[in-house]
Structure 1
Amino acid sequence: MSCLVLLVGTTMASVSATDVERPDTASTSQADVQDEQLWIDDWQQKLTSSMDYTAGQLDSFFALEGNDAYKDARASGRVSLGWEPRSRQLDDMELRFRVRVKLPALQDRVDLVLSDNEDTDNETTIRAARDPIQRNRDNTTIALRYRTSDNSRMSYRLGTGRRGQIYAKARYQDVAPINDNLGLFYDAETYYYNRDQLGAEIGATFQYLSDEDHVFRFNNRYYYRDEHHEWLWRHELQYLQPLTTQSAAIYTLFTEGMKRPDDELKEVYASFKYRTNPTRDWLFYEIEPFVLWLRDEDFKPSWGLAMRVEVYYGRGT
């Protein structure tokens, strides 16, 4: 959403005119800040350039002789490092990443997707909240995604993931605007893993955007896994509130469970997330107090505080 695009802003301290030595000190401090800004900006630019170079080398394998389109190959993505301590579990560190590579040699109809998690609809929750049902499900996945055009509602994937399995997936997604403020986002997918066999998912999200750019979301998702004959469900309420041009607050209530083989609630999760990028539009900081109730822990409340740093790279970031 446009309301969540956080712009760059910095502040500088004032200097006392009565201190003879302060102007030199202030100038040195300002130079140090500028050096630091140049260093971190240079690092992000080098990361983007190296990922683009890798994308070009990969795309060159698909290029026809005399076709230089692979030189325009681009990569974009994000890297997130977080510490999510909670009562009864203080050492929960997590590294998350997602890379998308455009392949112009294949007429930009095929993307290479590399991610730590195959479930993009649940990537913002804390790790402890994803574990109960998705244990042994999330894994590094690499896949080729094919679409007939950039705005195609249908996509197909072939890759590896979920504990090293080979899979094929077909996914359809679309949005149905109800009025100027209310919309329905929906998707359905079916997939086949060489060990887990057939599976399917369906999801629907109702979203309301207020005149003040506040966003209300009600997310629903249902899963079927053939290997264990499991029927799973997830419901989530979210409220996104822009605070300034550089910060936003996200309130979340999340529940997850299964219908078969046992009809039971697995977890409840509530959190408040503060997200900001005070210095750069590609560098985000998050702090998220939360409370988690798990069936595996007899639904005793577990209090925690997640802290993350997230970096985006790629052209246009």
Structure 2
Amino acid sequence: MPDRNQFAPAEESGEEPPGDWMHSFHDTISNSVYQSAVWFDSFFSHDDSLQQTPQTTARIRLGWEPRSRDLGEFDTRFRVKLKLPHFKNKLDLILSDDSDDELSQLPLETSLKPKSEINDEPFAAAVRLIHTNTDEKFTDTRLGLSGGDIFLKSRHRRHYSWQDIHGFKIEPSVFYFLDDGLGARLLLEYDYQLNEKEQLRVNYSVRGSESYSGIRWKHGFYHLKQIANDRAAVLGLLVEGERNGENGFLIDNYTLSYRYRFNALREWLFFDIEPFLEWPDEADHKTTPGIALRVEGYFSKQ
């Protein structure tokens, strides 16, 4: 089955002009993150002769997401991951300005946030221990801090595929926040490969926590298309809501979006154009059109 992640950055293969300001900017960010990883990893080595090379990746995204009657919505995101070689690359450090990570989002879900949540995401830092990492299985545990709350999270992921056109993923996880208590989440996903360039995807997640009543759920329906090596698009419909809570069964929002992503100017630089329609419950499910324009840079060094 073709690569599932059609939005991953391409491998850097060419040399950029050394005097170019974009090249200098990319090198400055990459080197800064790399030196931080070397410094942090050195605490776990008692012999300078055993110094190893860490692997670092960083992602910075800037976005403008105007909606109907509200044109001033801007969004910025960053994420830094430091892989520590003295733990045989089984341990890494993740820093992010969102609560990280997949607890409330589906794979391929649009990164659009409800108006009430924009610029309200806490800073998160976590140490992740990877127990199993193969093509079929992945298990990890994270211990960290998010919005001033200490958390522990463990998840297990299994992939199944057959006949090169069907894929299925199951991902249960449990988490505990010191303030919010115990919680759990289950993600189910099915992929159908139409051809080498196109795929249909359906996913569903439910999660619950001691911090709120009821069960939060999300359904996602997507059509993925790889237009070229440097361009791809996703047409998606997302439905989210709650059940068994104080209000019984409730649909919070419908979102229909078309995300066009392309690589331009540099191999590490990506652009998104995403027109969308929302039908939020807080607006009595009235149609709310909008568009998201984003630029995203990937920085890595090892």
2:211 is equivalent to residue 227 of structure 1: yes
Rounded Cα–Cα distance in structure 1 between residues aligned with 2:19 and 2:283: 45
Rounded Cα–Cα distance in structure 2 between residues aligned with 1:37 and 1:247: 28
Rounded Cα–Cα distance in structure 2 between residues aligned with 1:267 and 1:259: 14
Alignment partner of 2:242 out of 252, 258, 262: 258
Q: 1:108: Cα distance to partner?
A: 1.4
2:130 is equivalent to residue 144 of structure 1: no
The SS at the match of 1:86 is coil
Rounded Cα–Cα distance in structure 2 between residues aligned with 1:257 and 1:293: 12
Distance 1:67 1:258, change over 3 A: farther
Alignment partner of 1:180 out of 164, 186, 208: 164
- TM-score, reference length from structure 1: 0.83
- Matched with 2:143 is 158
Q: Which runs of 5+ in 2 are unaligned?
A: none
- Matched with 1:280 is 266
2:113 is equivalent to residue 128 of structure 1: yes
2:273 is equivalent to residue 291 of structure 1: no
Rounded Cα–Cα distance in structure 1 between residues aligned with 2:201 and 2:159: 14
The SS at the match of 1:50 is helix
Tell me which protein shows more helix as a share of its residues: 1
Rounded Cα–Cα distance in structure 2 between residues aligned with 1:253 and 1:259: 20
Q: Output one character per residue of 1:197-241: Cα deviation in whole Å (capped at 9) or x when no partner.
A: 001000011112222321211111110011223311000111111
Q: Output one character per residue of 1:140-181: Cα deviation in whole Å (capped at 9) or x when no partner.
A: 2110000135436221110011x3100111110120113211
Deviates more, 1:280-289 or 1:143-152: 143-152
The structure that has the greater radius of gyration is 1
Rounded Cα–Cα distance in structure 2 between residues aligned with 1:137 and 1:220: 25
- Matched with 2:26 is 44
Give the percent of matched residue pairs that are identical in Structure 1 and Structure 2: 28
- What are the within-5 Å matches in structure 2 for residues 79-98 of structure 1? 79-98=60-79
| Number of positions where the alignment pairs a residue of Structure 1 with one of Structure 2 | 287
Rounded Cα–Cα distance in structure 2 between residues aligned with 1:135 and 1:198: 25
Q: 1:4: Cα distance to partner?
A: 5.1
Tell me which protein shows more strand as a share of its residues: 2
2:45 is equivalent to residue 59 of structure 1: no
Distance 1:127 1:140, change over 3 A: farther
The SS at the match of 2:279 is strand
Rounded Cα–Cα distance in structure 1 between residues aligned with 2:150 and 2:9: 38
Residues 5 and 245 in structure 1, CA contact (< 8 A), matched pair in contact too: no
CA RMSD of aligned residues (A): 2.5
Alignment partner of 1:215 out of 199, 213, 222: 199
Rounded Cα–Cα distance in structure 2 between residues aligned with 1:77 and 1:153: 22
2:145 is equivalent to residue 167 of structure 1: no
Rounded Cα–Cα distance in structure 1 between residues aligned with 2:275 and 2:293: 9
Distance 1:245 1:206, change over 3 A: same
Distance 1:283 1:37, change over 3 A: farther
Which amino acid in 1 is paired with 2:292?
Answer: A
Q: Which runs of 5+ in 1 are unaligned?
A: 9-33
2:189 is equivalent to residue 205 of structure 1: yes
- Matched with 1:75 is 56
Which amino acid in 2 is paired with 1:98?
Answer: R
Q: 1:297: Cα distance to partner?
A: 1.0
Rounded Cα–Cα distance in structure 2 between residues aligned with 1:136 and 1:43: 25
Rounded Cα–Cα distance in structure 2 between residues aligned with 1:156 and 1:98: 18
- Matched with 1:29 is none
The SS at the match of 1:60 is helix
- TM-score, reference length from structure 2: 0.86
Q: Output one character per residue of 1:8-45: Cα deviation in whole Å (capped at 9) or x when no partner.
A: 9xxxxxxxxxxxxxxxxxxxxxxxxx979822122212
Q: 1:128: Cα distance to partner?
A: 3.1
The SS at the match of 1:72 is coil
